[in-house]
Amino acid sequence: MIILFNTLGRQKQKLKPLKDRLVRMYSCGPTVYDYAHLGHFRAYVFVDTLKRVLKYNKYKVKHVMNITDVGHLTSDADTGEDKMEKSARREGKTVWEIAEFYTKDFFDAMEKLNVEKADIVCKATEHIKEMAEMVQKIIDNGYAYVISDGIYFDTSKLKDYGKLAGFNPEELKAGARVEFNEEKKNPTDFALWKFTAKDQKRQMEWENEFFFKPEQIDLGKVTAYARENPNIRVEKAKRGFKLVVKGFPGWHIECSAMSIKYLGKVFDIHTGGVDHIPVHHTNEIAQSQAALKKESVKFWLHNEFVLVNNQKMSKSLQNFYTMHDILARGFDPLSLRYLFLTAHYRSKINFTWESLAAAENAYKSLKEKIASLKNKGKVGKKVKEYKKKFLEYINDDLNTPQALSLLWQMLKDDELSDKEKLVLALDFDRVFGLRLKDARKKIPKEIIKLAEERLKARKEKDWKRADELREEIRRRGYKIEDTEDGYRIFKA
């Protein structure tokens, strides 16, 4: 029995998958306009741990994650620039190049953190049709209206809008004044589709048609917008009007459209960081309710922030560290994974390099301990007791800190044989994902000799020789990875 904390309702609940032993889950993926940082890594290590716990409990998991490569604006209030277009301008590249570069960098980092890739990774730009169809349903069901810069969702039409965040829309109105767009009917209304502004040059834009019944559109106003902006056209259609627009989807619609496409109208789990609760996920819920007349998600799970000096690590505050920083300082990425596991996913982590160094020390001693165990001895019934305890911890809303201390307690237990310790440690590692098995692998002396020779060649800038040696190492079944202070070797 797995218990998870559901943000919707703010309580722990028993997980009961909709389809027998299959758990269908969706995770909000990264916006690929810059390097991912430690905050993002925490979000995905959390998702990975969740998947591992489900699989440890013999569930099958179907996991979908999106890549946001269009439509995420610099402000959550649907104003400001598209982050991708802004980044492309800054770096003098195309938006597509930006997306490709940072997506690859993101997945490289995920691999280093031993985060398993989602079964389906879907890009927003490849699902424009599905998003437009969902927006059309929302219009048809009477939840949308048009203003000069886009098609918006009328949040006042939903009785329980905002329930995920537990806020009262009246209170929010007061707080949202600063960014309130006067044309919107309610401060919490959000863009379903944005029109390219009249003088704007966008790299990513699409032409789409949306149909409105006469009572769903203020023809006078929309005709005036069309006169002002060549990217908007309004035509008479069979049972009303057709709006032909050049533009791009709002950020929230991609997750609604893609999760439903790949997981069905109702699925089990949706994840993201806590910053997504008040806007992004609140609006996803609203969209599904409006388009499908039902709730799509059973469990909403949110990880807490990584902080730096008690402020959220974020690109906008410029207080972030990337995988490149971790490697440049000579840390093993899995030490970061260890650090994340020492805290519960719903508590904040204030990141310092000292805390990472401490985690690295602990992780190193853990590996040394595992390496020193002899594969000998009996396997008795105490193993079962430990497994039971372990399951109890991880199934209680992923209590990884307790599960980790159980691992240490177990390794120090004199009543267990080495064999039992090894069996248990490797079994627990199916959830921790710390590659503890690798600690048992001895790298042969001749491979280390080749690696040392290669390091020397690199220092002497003899790249040809370094490449030859890498190839030789590969031929012998090992992979060498450069770190800023040397190298690491793995069994390939």
| Residues of the shown chain interacting with ligand AMP in the complex, contacts defined by CB under 6 A | 28, 30-31, 39-40, 42-43, 272-273, 275-276, 303, 305-306, 312-314
Binds 312: which of Zn ion, ligand AMP, none (CB < 5-8 Å by kind): ligand AMP
Determine, following the binding rule CB under 5 A, whether residue 439 of this chain makes contact with Zn ion.
no
Binds 306: which of Zn ion, ligand AMP, none (CB < 5-8 Å by kind): ligand AMP
DSSP string, 443-475: PPHHHHHHHHHHHHHHHTT-HHHHHHHHHHHHH
Binds 323: which of ligand AMP, Zn ion, none (CB < 5-8 Å by kind): none
Binds 63: which of ligand AMP, Zn ion, none (CB < 5-8 Å by kind): none
Nearer to Zn ion, 206 or 300 (CB): 300
Contacts to Zn ion from residues 231-260, by CB under 5 A: 255
The region of 20-28, 43-51, 161-169, 421-429 touching Zn ion under the rule CB under 5 A is: 20-28
DSSP string, 120-180: EEEEGGG-HHHHHHHHHHHHHTT-EEEETTEEEE-GGG-TTTTTTTT--HHHHHHHTGGG-
Extract the tokens encoding 427: 């079994």
The distance of closest approach from Cβ of residue 297 to Zn ion in the complex, given in angstroms and rounded to an integer, is 11
| Bridge partners of residue 67, in order along the sequence | 123
The distance of closest approach from Cβ of residue 246 to ligand AMP in the complex, given in angstroms and rounded to an integer, is 25
In angstroms, the CA 118 to CA 45 distance is 12
Provide φ and ψ at 272, rounded to 5°: 175, 175
The region that residue 69 occupies, defined by phi over 0 for left and psi between -120 and 50 for alpha, beta otherwise, is alpha
Nearer to ligand AMP, 158 or 274 (CB): 274
The distance of closest approach from Cβ of residue 50 to ligand AMP in the complex, given in angstroms and rounded to an integer, is 13
Nearer to ligand AMP, 192 or 277 (CB): 277
The region that residue 292 occupies, defined by phi over 0 for left and psi between -120 and 50 for alpha, beta otherwise, is alpha
Answer whether 51's CB lies under 8 Å from 42's CB: no
In angstroms, the CA 239 to CA 93 distance is 44
Nearer to ligand AMP, 313 or 473 (CB): 313
Binds 255: which of ligand AMP, Zn ion, none (CB < 5-8 Å by kind): Zn ion
Nearer to ligand AMP, 6 or 31 (CB): 31
The distance of closest approach from Cβ of residue 399 to ligand AMP in the complex, given in angstroms and rounded to an integer, is 19
Answer whether 120's CB lies under 8 Å from 63's CB: yes
Interface ranges with Zn ion (CB under 5 A): 28, 255
